[in-house]
Each structure stands twice: as C-alpha cells, then as structure tokens.
Copies of this chain bind each other. A is one copy, B any other.
Amino acid sequence: MPPDTATPHEPSRRRLPPAERMPQILEAALEEFAARGFAGARMAEVARRAGIAKGLIYHYFPSKTALFEAVVRDGTRSDFEAAERQLSQHSGSYRALLAALLDLGYQAVCEDARDRVLFRLIIAEAEHVPELAGFYRDEMLARSVGIAQRLLEAGVAAGEFRPEVAAPGYAEVVLAPVVMLSVWRIILGNADAPEAAAMRAAHRDLLLAALLPPAG
C-alpha cells in the first residue's frame, strides 16, 4: 500500500469545542476505514488525516471499535431523501416516474459518493460488526426497496403496470441492477466496471417492457 497521500486537515493546533472536533475525526476515520478496512486502519493515520495528535482521538472515542461504530452511525445521512421526495410529490405517469427514479439512481452511483465508501465497509465488515448489517438492512435496503415497492404499487393502482408486479420479490429485482452497478464499481473501479449509460438505457427499456400490461 502506497504511503497514502490523502490531504490532512490544516494543522489546527487550536483548542476546538467537541462539536467541531468530532466531525473532523469522524470524517478522517471514515476515509481511513474505507481505505484499509477495520483491521487495517491505523489510529495514527486517522489522527494524521484529521490533523491532530493520536492521543486526542481518545478524548472523544474510548477505542478503535467505538470510533468505528460512531463512523457507521454518522453515515446515516441519506441520499434516499431525494427519491422519497420525488415519489411523494409526483404527478404524471408512473412510467415517467420510473424513468426519473432510475436516472436518479444511476446518477447517485456515478457520483464519487461517500456512500460507496460506506457501502464497501459494510460489505467487508458486516460479519464482524452486527450493527453494520442492521444499519444496511434498515437504512439502505429497506428504504430503497420501499421506494421501489411503492412505485410499483402506485403504478398498478393507476392501471399503468401489470397487477402481478406488486407481489413480493419484484421490487428487489427492479432495483438490483442499480445497486449491483455500485458493487461492480467498488470492485473494479469506475473505469473497468460495466458502462453506466448502457446499463441505464437497457434497464429502462427492460422495465418498461416488463411492467406494462400486454395490451400496452
């Protein structure tokens, strides 16, 4: 591993109130945990990234594990709010809404989002930190499946989609390709992962063909 060149904070040697210091540390810790995983992360490196001394971390967090859990808890800032807002404020065809939400999803995946960083952490450490799995289940999977589910149900109710597609399992299948692209980008990097644009177009085409009633 290269001697990480991540930009450290300006060397603020000034005394800061906890409300300002904690986010600095959490941000630095997120970067470090994401870059090295839990076991590979070094407290000294977290301190360097935050621009503070090693010892100061222990004023705010009693241990590496506690810091890690705080990082995860802090990661709750959701990108789902935009989608949920679109869903509830919607007026127009559900075909159009489906397309709009798909665009939103692929766009989120393509942005250099901190979310992917958290996502990788979750995949890597979920087995050892049960809280991570719970967090993903409740804050990420449930919400995205919920959005897809409500979209499908509303479309069925409006007569735009086939009635079967509101059954269990459909929502997961509908959103899986977006999430999977995110995983592929985690594994392969943005360059080597499948093309986002091609997948988005294919995804939209397939969904529209699959959801609409045969009669059109």
Which of A14-22, A35-43, A86-94 is the interface stretch?
A35-43
Asked whether A176 is an interface residue with its Cβ less than 8 Å from the other chain, the reply is yes
Decide: A188 and B123 in contact? CB cutoff 8 A: no
Asked whether A79 is an interface residue with its Cβ less than 8 Å from the other chain, the reply is no
Asked whether A113 is an interface residue with its Cβ less than 8 Å from the other chain, the reply is no
Secondary structure at chain A's binding surface: helix, strand, loop or mixed? helix
A162 to B209, CA, bound (A): 10
Asked whether A201 is an interface residue with its Cβ less than 8 Å from the other chain, the reply is yes
Decide: A122 and B203 in contact? CB cutoff 8 A: no
Asked whether A80 is an interface residue with its Cβ less than 8 Å from the other chain, the reply is no
| Given known A183-B183, A187-B122, contact A172–B177 (CB-CB < 8 A) | yes
Question: Which residues of chain B are within 8 angstroms of A74 by Cβ–Cβ distance?
Answer: none
Decide: A133 and B188 in contact? CB cutoff 8 A: yes
Decide: B202 and A170 in contact? CB cutoff 8 A: yes
A164 to B36, CA, bound (A): 42
Question: Which residues of chain B are within 8 angstroms of A189 by Cβ–Cβ distance?
Answer: 133
A35 to B205, CA, bound (A): 40
Q: How far is the CB of A202 from chain B (nearest CB, A)?
A: 4
User: Which residue of the partner chain B has the closest CB to A1?
Assistant: B128
Question: Which residues of chain B are within 8 angstroms of A36 by Cβ–Cβ distance?
Answer: 39, 128
Asked whether A181 is an interface residue with its Cβ less than 8 Å from the other chain, the reply is yes
Cβ-neighbour of A202 out of B128, B141, B173, B177 (below 8 A): B173
Question: Which residues of chain B are within 8 angstroms of A214 by Cβ–Cβ distance?
Answer: 209, 214, 216
Question: Which residues of chain B are within 8 angstroms of A164 by Cβ–Cβ distance?
Answer: 205
Which has the most chain B C-beta neighbours within 10 Å: A126, A145, A177, A203? A177
Decide: A199 and B173 in contact? CB cutoff 8 A: yes
**6 shortest A-B CB distances, which residue pairs?**
A169-B198, A124-B124, A39-B40, A169-B202, A210-B210, A176-B177
Query: Can you report 5 residue pairs joining A to B where beta carbons are below 8 Å apart?
Result: A35-B127, A162-B209, A165-B206, A172-B202, A176-B177
